[in-house]
Structure 1
Amino acid sequence: MSQLFLRRVVAVWFAAIYALIGLPLWYKLTTIYRAPLPGEYVSSLRENMHADVHVVVPVYVRSDTYKFPDIHRAIQAQADALLRSKPSTIDWSLQVMPAEKNQTLDLESDYVLTLVLDDFTGYAIPYDSKETVVFFDDTAVLSNDVPFFAAQTLIEHTFAAEWTHFSGSTSVQDENTLDIDSEMVISYSPTMHLSLSLLTGDGRPVAWDIESTLNQYFTPLRRFLSPLVNFTVDTSILPFNDLNLGSLHDVQDPSWQDLAHSVDLSELSSINHYREKNVVNLAIVFPSPEAGQLAFINATQDRPWQSFMVPQWGALVVNKEALPDNARITQDYLAPVIYSFACELFQFLGLSSEKADLSTPYTTIDSFKRIMTLKNLEQGVETLWSLVKLTNQFPQMSVPKRVLADVERAVELRLQAVELINDPKQGNEAIWNEALRLSNDFVQVCERAFFHKEMVQQNFFPQEHKIAVYLPLLGPISVIIFTGLIKALREKHGDDAEDHLNGKKSLKFDSDKPLQSEDTS
């Protein structure tokens, strides 16, 4: 084997190992993992947000006076026609069914339409049930107007919130209409924290019966709202802090916008850190004795305070006079405050409008569940779409397997929620509670995928940065290996023979010197 052939073999092996093993290994070790997200599916969901959603609400019809054999079909036809009269962003309908003779209906769980013969035509929605009572007279029966009256009452009053939000109807003026988009509303979250603070302008000792008052007047409300939101509560007393209300003397009949120029609530918001994402505050403020009476407070003997609603923060209860020495605030004082705050809490959650009280809590809360379930589905899809756009915008960004697992879990949760929403036979309270829970989990999983630590930190190197970092190392090695390979391939056999002869000439013996042998003895 000639030396030229050996050199060529060695050069080829070096170049092959470098090109076939070294470079692919370097590329593999420096390449980030990108899980294959279902981008096309998420894009189709965003383009047709509610294509697979059809909200169905079952309603049972019963009549105690007249027996109308086909009244449910007539009401169904009128309800469908009324819903088709308005363009709808979400496909929804009522499933009108007759109440069977021996069927037991739960008025707190099932929607029941009761037809009652009376001397006038009207309707009533009881406070403590989901029943809708439609009154009709004989004239309405003869003119066949009962189905239309019943359908109109159901859609424009019982389900006024759905009629407003799903069908885009702005003509409905009903006290039961939700006000979710109001600037006063705190963003919805399935878990919220309620912070109650007592502020005094001096350091004199004070006590309050807040625990017993909350147990008696607020705990029933917490249980009633538990399908929507779970409240955690803390209480605190803050001395030497009257929010600088004593400096306001020239204000007459103020609103919160008037007080906002002098009152700073950031200190109350930053005192504690809560695990919950959203916080509702109730601050009860007593001025210092030096400030005297707050003349701008509209107070009475039975109600020596005035409440101000702070948008997206909570309620501020300001007392007209300072506390006496060694004061103890009893339930007689706290009960009206908590009741007023409960009514305001409905507004902070979007359950009632600014001027109306929650007159039909059962139907209103169910409507809130349906609307928030669909809003959660929209929010989650938008989050997934933002995640897909982010990964497409940065091709070198890492997409961990955990993110893919969360996206797949989110898609599964959405399908489960949509299946419950679309089933007309599963429209009771427990089903809507489950659908809301699934949609809340859907939003949480989507946000967890988007805000994954490796995604948020964006620890990635663009391709040009990778080349710039490794070029000082790979450049010289590549030049040496491939230059040697080219040189070895360009050598000829003549050059090899000449080098071989030169090697032999260097080994010739000098004839002028005699040969010497070693003495082996």
Structure 2
Amino acid sequence: MTLLNLRRAVALWFAALFTLVGIPIWYKLTTIYRAPLPSTYIGSIQENMHSDIHVVVPVYVRSDTYKFPDVHDAIQAEVNALIEARAGRLNWSLQVLQPESHEDLNPETDHVLTLVLDDFTGYSIAYDSKETAVFFDNEAVVSNDVPFFAAQTLVEHTFATEWEHFSHPSRERDDATTEMAISYSPEVHLSISLLTGDGRPVAWDIDSTLEQYFTPLRRFLAPIVNFTVDTSIVQFNDLNLGALQQAHNPSWLDLAHTVDLSDLSSMNHYREKAVLNLAVVFPSAASGSLAFINATSEKPWQSFMVPQWGALVINKDPLPDNSRLTQNYLAPVMYNFVREMFQFLGLSSKSADLSTPYTTIDSFKRVATLKNLEKGAHTLLSLTKLADQFPQMSVPRQVLDNVERALNLRLQIVELLNDPSQGSESTWNTALRLSNNFVQVCEKAFFDKAMVQQNFFPQEHKIAVYLPLLGPLTVITFTGLIKVLREKDESEAKRDETQKESEAEGDNNDEKQILAED
């Protein structure tokens, strides 16, 4: 092999290596990984949010006086008619059952409808259980009105929360409830603060008060929310209440123009997403008594509900020197806050609605579970839209794993809700827990670090970054290849040169011959 052929072979090898190996490796290393998200399936869930959900709540009917053999069937027909008459955005129903034995019923865990013969017609929902009593007289029996009375009581009173949320064509009811309530979260932090306008020494029996008045509620609400609590005393801060001396019967909207709660809220940072606050405020001695506070000798304070923040308890008079707030003072404050907490948590639209806590909590589990399903579906849809909007954005494998896990959790929840054989308290606890996990996994997928940081290169950025490197390499490689291919061997060059010299000599001889003839 001549030297020229060797040089040509090397040049061709470099060009082939650059084209067939270098460029594919560069493209492979610079190509982002995009996990195939089930966008079509997620979109169908969003479009038909509740098409595969049918909430079934079992209710057991018993009668202590008359033995109605088919009363549960009659009540079932009336219940179905009431629910179907009101078009809603979600399918739900009550499954009216007749227990095999009254001894098997547990009103603390099962919804029980008791028919009671009395002198009047009415109903009563128990405070300490899930039992609903429907009172009827003999005239109602004769006119066959007992099934309708029972059905109306169940649908419009016992399950009023489901009736308003599930059988409502729009979300207006939900929006009205959330004006005061914080966003639902299974983890809620409760921050309790004592604020004084002076630096006088002060103490309070908050630990014993919480143990006696808040711990029972904390245990009662454990299936739906877990509380963490902190307490603090803040001195030389009365929220500038002295500027409101001229106010008359102000509401929180009036106080909001003067009272700034941002400093109080930003004092601490909590691990929990949802935070409730209870601030007990005493004015400074310089401000004197606050005339706008409606106080009595038994209740020297007035409570203001701050939307999506908590309760602000403002005292009329300043604290004296070396004061200690005992349970005699703190117990009414805590009891009032506990009544308002139902509204802050979204359990009720009225702060004093504690007449049926067992039924209210049970209904809240169902509503919260459905809201979590909607929230998670919205999050997954936003994830797919984000991925489609940025074709060069990386979609890591762990994002796809979390999406698949979330969809599996949703299927488990739907199966629980749709199963007529389920419906006990443990079922709703499980469904709520799974729905909380569903929301958490959806948010984990959406807020993945690789996606939150938008760690991707658009195509034009990729070209701009690598062109200064690949451009010169490409020019050098292929220019050298073309130059080598155009070169000729030395022997060929000598033959060409000899041929040119002979042709030149022949031309000269011809010229001489022509001159000689002339």
Question: TM-score with structure 2 length normalisation?
Answer: 0.92
Asked whether the 8 Å contact 1:179–1:351 carries over to 2, the reply is no
Asked whether the 8 Å contact 1:205–1:326 carries over to 2, the reply is yes
Q: Is 1:392 paired with 2:388?
A: yes
Asked whether the 8 Å contact 2:62–2:112 carries over to 1, the reply is yes
Q: C-alpha distance in 1, partners of 2:206/2:179?
A: 29
Distance 1:307 1:179, change over 3 A: farther
Asked whether the 8 Å contact 1:179–1:353 carries over to 2, the reply is no
Q: Is 1:419 paired with 2:453?
A: no
Q: What SS is found at the alignment partner of 1:148? A: helix
Residue type of the alignment partner of 1:379: K
Q: Is 1:164 paired with 2:164?
A: yes
Q: C-alpha distance in 2, partners of 1:178/1:28?
A: 50
Asked whether the 8 Å contact 1:179–1:352 carries over to 2, the reply is no
Q: C-alpha distance in 2, partners of 1:401/1:504?
A: 71
Q: Deviations over 1:154-182 (max 9, x none)?
A: 11111111111111079xxxxxx988733
Q: Per-residue deviation at 1:499?
A: 2.6
Q: What is the match of residue 82 of structure 1?
A: 82
Q: Per-residue deviation at 1:274?
A: 0.8
Q: C-alpha distance in 2, partners of 1:295/1:244?
A: 14
1:472 to 462, 468, 471: 468
Asked whether the 8 Å contact 2:189–2:272 carries over to 1, the reply is yes
Q: Deviations over 1:215-242 (max 9, x none)?
A: 0111101111111111111111111111
Q: What is the match of residue 149 of structure 1?
A: 149
Q: C-alpha distance in 1, partners of 2:191/2:270?
A: 10
Question: Which stretch shifts more, 352-361 or 235-244?
Answer: 352-361
Q: What is the match of residue 303 of structure 1?
A: 299
Distance 1:444 1:355, change over 3 A: closer
Q: Is 1:130 paired with 2:130?
A: yes
Q: What is the match of residue 216 of structure 2?
A: 220
Q: What is the match of residue 49 of structure 1?
A: 49
Q: Deviations over 1:278-303 (max 9, x none)?
A: 11111111111121111111000100
Q: Per-residue deviation at 1:206?
A: 0.7
Distance 1:503 1:337, change over 3 A: farther
After TM superposition, list the pairs within 5 Å mapping 1:248-327 onto structure 2. 248-327=244-323
Q: Per-residue deviation at 1:483?
A: 3.6
Q: What SS is found at the alignment partner of 1:291? A: coil
1:460 to 456, 461, 471: 456
After TM superposition, list the pairs within 5 Å mapping 1:344-423 onto structure 2. 344-354=340-350, 356-423=352-419
Q: C-alpha distance in 2, partners of 1:135/1:179?
A: 35
Q: C-alpha distance in 2, partners of 1:58/1:270?
A: 46
Q: Per-residue deviation at 1:26?
A: 0.5
Q: Per-residue deviation at 1:496?
A: 6.8
Q: What is the match of residue 429 of structure 1?
A: 425
Unpaired runs of at least 5, structure 2: 500-518
Q: What is the match of residue 511 of structure 1?
A: none
Q: C-alpha distance in 2, partners of 1:115/1:280?
A: 41
Q: What is the match of residue 34 of structure 2?
A: 34
Q: Deviations over 1:197-220 (max 9, x none)?
A: 111111111111111011011110
Asked whether the 8 Å contact 2:409–2:434 carries over to 1, the reply is yes
Q: Deviations over 1:131-162 (max 9, x none)?
A: 11111222222222211111111111111111
Residue type of the alignment partner of 1:328: R
Q: C-alpha distance in 2, partners of 1:113/1:500?
A: 116
Q: Per-residue deviation at 1:421?
A: 1.2
Asked whether the 8 Å contact 2:189–2:227 carries over to 1, the reply is yes
Asked whether the 8 Å contact 2:342–2:351 carries over to 1, the reply is no
Q: What SS is found at the alignment partner of 2:104? A: coil
Asked whether the 8 Å contact 1:297–1:318 carries over to 2, the reply is yes
Q: C-alpha distance in 2, partners of 1:226/1:28?
A: 52
Distance 1:102 1:301, change over 3 A: closer
Residue type of the alignment partner of 2:324: R
Q: C-alpha distance in 2, partners of 1:98/1:16?
A: 83
1:200 to 196, 199, 219: 196
What do you get for the CA RMSD once the two structures are aligned? 2.1
Q: Per-residue deviation at 1:337?
A: 0.4
Q: What SS is found at the alignment partner of 1:114? A: strand
Q: What SS is found at the alignment partner of 1:10? A: helix
Q: What SS is found at the alignment partner of 1:135? A: strand
Question: TM-score with structure 1 length normalisation?
Answer: 0.91
Q: Per-residue deviation at 1:322?
A: 1.0
After TM superposition, list the pairs within 5 Å mapping 1:14-29 onto structure 2. 14-29=14-29
Q: What SS is found at the alignment partner of 1:152? A: helix
Asked whether the 8 Å contact 2:238–2:282 carries over to 1, the reply is yes
Q: Per-residue deviation at 1:353?
A: 2.0
Q: What is the match of residue 513 of structure 1?
A: none
Asked whether the 8 Å contact 1:178–1:352 carries over to 2, the reply is no
Q: What is the match of residue 91 of structure 2?
A: 91
Q: What is the match of residue 499 of structure 1?
A: 493
Identity, % of aligned pairs? 71
Q: What is the match of residue 509 of structure 1?
A: none
Q: Per-residue deviation at 1:375?
A: 0.4
Q: C-alpha distance in 1, partners of 2:52/2:280?
A: 48
Asked whether the 8 Å contact 2:122–2:136 carries over to 1, the reply is yes
Asked whether the 8 Å contact 1:281–1:314 carries over to 2, the reply is yes
After TM superposition, list the pairs within 5 Å mapping 1:224-243 onto structure 2. 224-243=220-239
Q: C-alpha distance in 1, partners of 2:498/2:119?
A: 134
Question: Which stretch shifts more, 177-186 or 244-253?
Answer: 177-186
Asked whether the 8 Å contact 2:340–2:351 carries over to 1, the reply is no
Q: What SS is found at the alignment partner of 1:243? A: coil
Q: What is the match of residue 65 of structure 1?
A: 65
Residue type of the alignment partner of 1:13: W
**Residues paired across the two proteins, number:** 497
Q: C-alpha distance in 2, partners of 1:354/1:81?
A: 29
Q: Per-residue deviation at 1:309?
A: 0.7
Q: Deviations over 1:432-474 (max 9, x none)?
A: 0111011011111111111111111112110111011111221
Q: C-alpha distance in 2, partners of 1:44/1:169?
A: 20
